[in-house]
Structure 1
């Protein structure tokens, strides 16, 4: 079996890295500009965190991480905001994140790793930078496989859709392994056993099992909410004025509770807020906790994100931006199955 070593660009808190490790791949280092991710990345994954802009990273620097006589994997899940549906119609040409795929492409050309993977939102395929990225890979001799992935089919308990690309210099074909789950893992499966929390409280044993406070109005709103329902179920005096307007009536997926027997919605950087999506707990009168969000992202139940003080906004960003650990494991298993 191949001995694969990886370097993870845009590693964040380590979702992809943790998944690759679960599949049996050795991850040597992760690069990211978010210094707040250093502790969690290194503590959980025993890999080196390098705080550096990928635009400034050189091939020599990447190559120093790999041992001799290994198959080198270069992974790069660039921030997805410029490609997100939330930005469609907006001018993102000045977004500093926009050229990151080009920098990833440059490093691939200079390092020539045997294996490459990239993960992003499905709408990345609507942009020229993505097609330039694929064309560059093919011009360098890589066999490329890329497709939209329904994460539920791979045991990830949320309705997350992602675009996953695999590329290889050492095999005639490559593809993501077939779906592993015919039945969805549900909210009940994942969080029903966690301790009960009141809004704004923190579990005494697990500091990450903490949830946001609710003001009086939002307390009344969540009391009026039912699993799978919307704010349209509320008395009119509780409905936000913006939702009463014609332009706001279609936004039914906010201020809502999850359903016990369905997967969770896609975890976002704001998933700890009741008003930011269907992030209300199915029967407790609060938004989901940070630990619950991390479990929906398939992080282990003891994954530690910070060394001491837990801050909702910072850790919510880490969790929402992460590649689900299970998806990283699927990518790793797919690479482990290829034959040269």
Structure 2
């Protein structure tokens, strides 16, 4: 398939949309965080700053691909059973929505939930069903990603979407297996309408294992990429995590420049960078943190909380593989992936459509 436009819900600073742009596919993102929107606008990405619950398929009539990574905090809460209860509630709502229960009644019940963010994970399903029920125009492809704890939600989505005529695949993807110089796992769902099958992208690189050599393992896969390969530091260094291991603040996680980075979080600026003999070195800049996520080195990070923006984003290199699989394309070539090294837009990045602006709740 050749997509016309992607509408990206909870779009953040643009990880998936950067990937789409490098693949030559226009995208517009809906995001309510003003800081992330500042970065998006600086990059020239199509952006609607607002609440996805105030919009729907009619706001973006040209979009034939739906993407999103809704907030996950409410059902990854540790202790007290709150996370598990929220997950059970979400799965029940998926069933009710697919059964076409009265939407006003569902909305009332969602409003009663302890944390309103729990209902946000249901928004992509609402959009998908509205495209079918109200517009008789199913999205040709759907792409969703989040932390591994969200996989049960994606599995429930998969059953719902299959009943609507989609082929679906979902699972956990390790980022370093796609050439991202970072160990990070994402729960991913891809779906395509009216085809017999769809599959998540296969790995292109070996998975990282502490103490296992880069050249060990499946010879058909490339070695995992290292921090040293993508950063401009011409010396070896160690990164000492801000987080303790096993609850012991003295047992900080360590990675060398000859290894992939640990998961890039919003607190990456707190990670110490030292020489092999423990001499303090300059900590990662925002550009370097972005490159560990495979953003272009000159990506125009803007606004507040830039570290958090970077940590929350989907790595564009992984997103290029996911989008290609969702569209039924061959995996992106190394030539295509090298485009991520510089931010040079490949497609026109104009203003969002008039239809989207007309439905802005602030209008």
TM-score by length of 2: 0.68
Give 2:231's aligned residue: 191
Give 2:291's aligned residue: 295
Q: Output aligned runs, 1:145-164, within 5 Å.
A: 145-164=169-188
Shift of 1:171: 1.7
User: Separation in 1 of the partners of 2:32 and 2:226?
Assistant: 34
Runs of 5+ unmatched residues, structure 2:
87-113, 132-137, 206-221, 331-363
User: Separation in 2 of the partners of 1:144 and 1:107?
Assistant: 17
Runs of 5+ unmatched residues, structure 1:
67-71, 197-225, 232-239, 275-279
Q: Output aligned runs, 1:170-209, within 5 Å.
A: 170-181=194-205, 182-193=222-233
Distance 1:134 1:327, change over 3 A: same
Q: Does 1:113 align with 2:139?
A: yes
Give 2:30's aligned residue: 31
User: Is residue 31–residue 52 contact of structure 1 (8 Å, CA) maintained in 2?
Assistant: yes
User: Is residue 83–residue 121 contact of structure 1 (8 Å, CA) maintained in 2?
Assistant: no
Shift of 1:4: 3.8
Q: Output aligned runs, 1:237-256, within 5 Å.
A: 248-249=247-248, 254=252, 256=253
User: Is residue 158–residue 265 contact of structure 1 (8 Å, CA) maintained in 2?
Assistant: yes
Distance 1:140 1:300, change over 3 A: same
Shift of 1:89: 4.7
Distance 1:194 1:15, change over 3 A: farther
Give 1:62's aligned residue: 60
Q: Output aligned runs, 1:13-32, within 5 Å.
A: 13-27=13-27, 29-32=28-31
Decide which of 324, 327, 331 is 2:315's aligned counterpart.
324
Distance 1:80 1:134, change over 3 A: same
Shift of 1:99: 1.1
Worse-matched range after superposition: 184-193 or 329-338 = 329-338
Distance 1:291 1:248, change over 3 A: same
1:288 aligned counterpart, secondary structure? coil
User: Is residue 10–residue 77 contact of structure 1 (8 Å, CA) maintained in 2?
Assistant: yes
Q: Does 1:73 align with 2:65?
A: yes
Alignment root-mean-square deviation, CA: 3.0
Deviations 1:226-253 (A, max 9, x none): 937789xxxxxxxx9xx8xxx833x566
Q: Does 1:337 align with 2:349?
A: no
User: Separation in 1 of the partners of 2:38 and 2:78?
Assistant: 31
User: Is residue 147–residue 165 contact of structure 1 (8 Å, CA) maintained in 2?
Assistant: yes
Shift of 1:330: 0.9
Q: Output aligned runs, 1:125-144, within 5 Å.
A: 125-126=151-152, 129-144=153-168
1:183 aligned counterpart, secondary structure? coil
Deviations 1:139-165 (A, max 9, x none): 211111111101111010101011111
Distance 1:78 1:34, change over 3 A: same
User: Separation in 2 of the partners of 1:189 and 1:253?
Assistant: 27
Give 1:41's aligned residue: 40
User: Is residue 72–residue 121 contact of structure 2 (8 Å, CA) maintained in 1?
Assistant: no
Shift of 1:270: 1.2
For these two proteins, the number of residue pairs brought into alignment is 275
TM-score by length of 1: 0.72
Q: Give the number of the structure whose residues are more often strand, by fraction.
A: 2
Give 1:260's aligned residue: 257
Shift of 1:289: 2.2
Q: Does 1:82 align with 2:74?
A: yes
